[in-house]
């Protein structure tokens, strides 16, 4: 079958393309911007890519058109598909029908930590010899790819609450029909598509409704928003993590001990930082147990877990200054990332560099919480290009520690002047940040 994918260069749709290729289909695709690294990965798989939305792509005609959620009405290629009555469906629907139907699906949902938890769970199953298929919204370093298809009965998927397509405004995850589902946490986000927290809770409850009675919900026991969601109705056994009597990570002299139902299981021996990652680990261990992996085996596997790219990823050290890259783009994630880095650097100075780039951030929804989330930094540099609100005003409580500008060169110069030996520069953005990491390392070298 020939599958043509519109919006192929996004992480999710690129994963769909890789899985379709592995399944033996002829795969082509297009996007508004075709550039590395995704374009390189796809081309290495033998997938032909087209820049833009030229209607000429309809010759030769594909058997099916898979539509990413970046595509909207008015897109010339989509309009031609509609006018000609050609067959099309969304990425999540294609995945559900072509791949997930016969699989034991383990889905990881939540506002924060989806990518890392999905990567942890996938690695645990892999280390146990179960060879799972997976689709992850990032690149786990244990695998080096974001998606793969195997003959295993298990498939692990990052279950995104973002909408499916312009013609299907349900969250992606309602298509996946998981047998095991992790609900990591729930906060208001994606202000471009959700009116309020209640709207997101409704979508999460749609997911809960799809999990069978013989399945399992692994739920953050500390999250009141998830409690409210489950109170709407729950037909599946629930195991909670982070609370007494459920899955716990208890600190002791030898490290953090994983405990379940009051029984100590094993000590977590790993190099991953942060309380949030220990919570992610508990969720992954619980889900893996449901799939048949003993908790002791899961804890042992995590000793060899190598994290995900762009999660406190070391990009280089020049003249004693270390540059770290992280995906954090929400005040809660920023706070957790800062706390995790503080575990590493101790009393060392942290220079926080933030690009408020997500749709929710650009709308200023979280501006009142930003200063608090960055308060542990010794200096804060905010890149304000494209913002429709006053970042300097919102971050004013940081006082003289703050520098806010829409001039990237000026930002890099200011960071370089401020940095001194022993400092850690923490760069946070959910985009490429115009290659600021390399620019900083080059400037420091000069």
Statement to judge: residues 152 and 290 lie in one domain = yes
**Residue 206 resides in a domain:** yes
Q: Is residue 410 part of a domain?
A: yes
Among 261, 282, 302, residue at a domain's last position: 302
What is the structure's pLDDT at 191?
A: 66
Is 308 part of a structural domain of the chain? no
Per-residue pLDDT tens digits for 127-158:
999 999 999 988 898 998 889 999 999 999 99
Query: Token pair 């009405």 is at which residue?
Result: 73
Q: Could you tell me the end-to-end alpha-carbon distance of the chain, in angstroms, rounded to an integer?
A: 53
Average pLDDT, the chain: 90
Altogether, the residues listed in the chain come to a count of: 446
**Within a domain: residue 323?**
yes
55-112 confidence digits (pLDDT tens): 999 999 999 999 999 999 999 999 999 999 999 999 999 999 999 999 999 999 998 8
- Claim to verify: residue 183 and residue 117 sit in the same structural domain: yes
420-to-199, 354, 384, 390, 413 alpha-carbon distances in Å? 46, 19, 24, 29, 13
Domains held by the chain: number: 3
86 and 19 part of one domain: yes
Q: pTM of the predicted model, to two decimals? A: 0.85
> Which of 90, 110, 140 is the last residue before a domain boundary?
90
Task: Evaluate whether residue 437 is within a structural domain.
Answer: yes
Q: Is 136 in contact with 119 (CB distance < 8 Å)?
A: yes
- Last residue of some domain: 72, 90, 108? 90
Mean pLDDT confidence for 232-258: 90
Residues 66, 120 within the same domain:
no
Both 281 and 319 in one domain: the answer is no
Name the residue range of residue 151's domain.
99-302
* Tens of pLDDT, residues 423-432: 999 998 877 7
Q: Find the DSSP H helices in 321-390.
A: 331-345, 359-362, 367-373
Give the Cα separation of 412 and 407 in Å (integer). 9
Q: Are residues 83 and 175 in the same domain?
A: no
141 and 247 belong to one structural domain: yes
Does residue 121 contact residue 156 with C-beta atoms inside 8 Å?
Answer: yes
3-class secondary structure per residue, 21-47? HHCCCEEEEEECCCCCCHHHHHHHCCC
């Amino acid at each position: 079958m020939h599958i043509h994918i519109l919006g192929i260069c996004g992480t999710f749709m690129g994963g769909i393309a890789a899985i379709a290729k592995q399944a033996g289909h002829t795969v082509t695709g297009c996007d508004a911007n075709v550039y590395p690294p995704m374009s390189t990965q796809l081309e290495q798989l033998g997938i032909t890519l087209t820049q833009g939305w030229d209607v000429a792509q309809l010759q030769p005609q594909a058997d099916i058109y898979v539509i990413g959620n970046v595509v909207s009405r008015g897109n010339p290629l989509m309009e031609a598909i509609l006018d000609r009555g050609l067959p099309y469906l969304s990425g999540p629907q294609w995945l559900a029908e072509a791949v997930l139907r016969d699989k034991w699906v383990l889905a990881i949902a939540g506002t924060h930590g989806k990518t890392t938890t999905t990567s942890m769970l996938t690695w645990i199953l892999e280390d146990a010899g179960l060879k799972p298929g997976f689709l992850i919204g990032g690149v786990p370093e244990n695998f080096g790819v974001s998606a793969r298809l195997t003959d295993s009965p298990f498939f692990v998927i990052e279950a995104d609450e973002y909408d499916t397509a312009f013609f299907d405004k349900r969250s992606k995850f309602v298509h996946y029909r998981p047998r095991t589902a992790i609900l990591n946490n729930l906060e208001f986000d994606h202000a471009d598509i959700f009116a309020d927290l209640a709207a997101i809770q409704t979508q999460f409850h749609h997911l809960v409704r799809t999990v069978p009675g013989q399945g399992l919900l692994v739920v953050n026991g500390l999250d009141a928003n998830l409690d409210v969601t489950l109170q709407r109705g729950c037909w599946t056994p629930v195991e909670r993590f982070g609370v007494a009597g459920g899955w716990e990570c208890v600190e002791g002299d030898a490290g953090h001990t994983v405990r379940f139902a009051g029984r100590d299981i094993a000590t977590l021996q790993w190099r991953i930082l942060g309380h949030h990652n220990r919570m992610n680990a508990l969720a992954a261990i619980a889900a893996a147990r449901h799939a048949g992996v003993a908790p002791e085996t899961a804890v042992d596997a995590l000793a060899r877990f190598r994290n995900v790219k762009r999660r406190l990823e070391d990009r280089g050290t020049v003249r004693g200054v270390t540059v770290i890259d992280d995906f954090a783009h929400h005040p809660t994630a920023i706070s957790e990332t800062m706390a995790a880095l503080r575990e590493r650097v101790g009393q060392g100075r942290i220079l926080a560099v933030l690009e408020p780039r997500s749709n929710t951030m650009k709308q200023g929804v979280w501006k009142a919480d930003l200063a608090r989330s960055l308060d542990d930094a010794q200096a804060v540099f905010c890149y304000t290009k494209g913002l429709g609100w006053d970042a300097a005003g919102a971050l004013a409580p940081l006082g003289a520690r703050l520098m806010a500008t829409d001039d990237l060169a000026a930002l890099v110069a200011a960071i370089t002047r401020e940095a001194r030996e022993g400092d850690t520069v923490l760069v946070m953005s959910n985009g490429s940040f115009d290659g600021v990491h390399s620019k900083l390392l080059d400037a420091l070298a000069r």
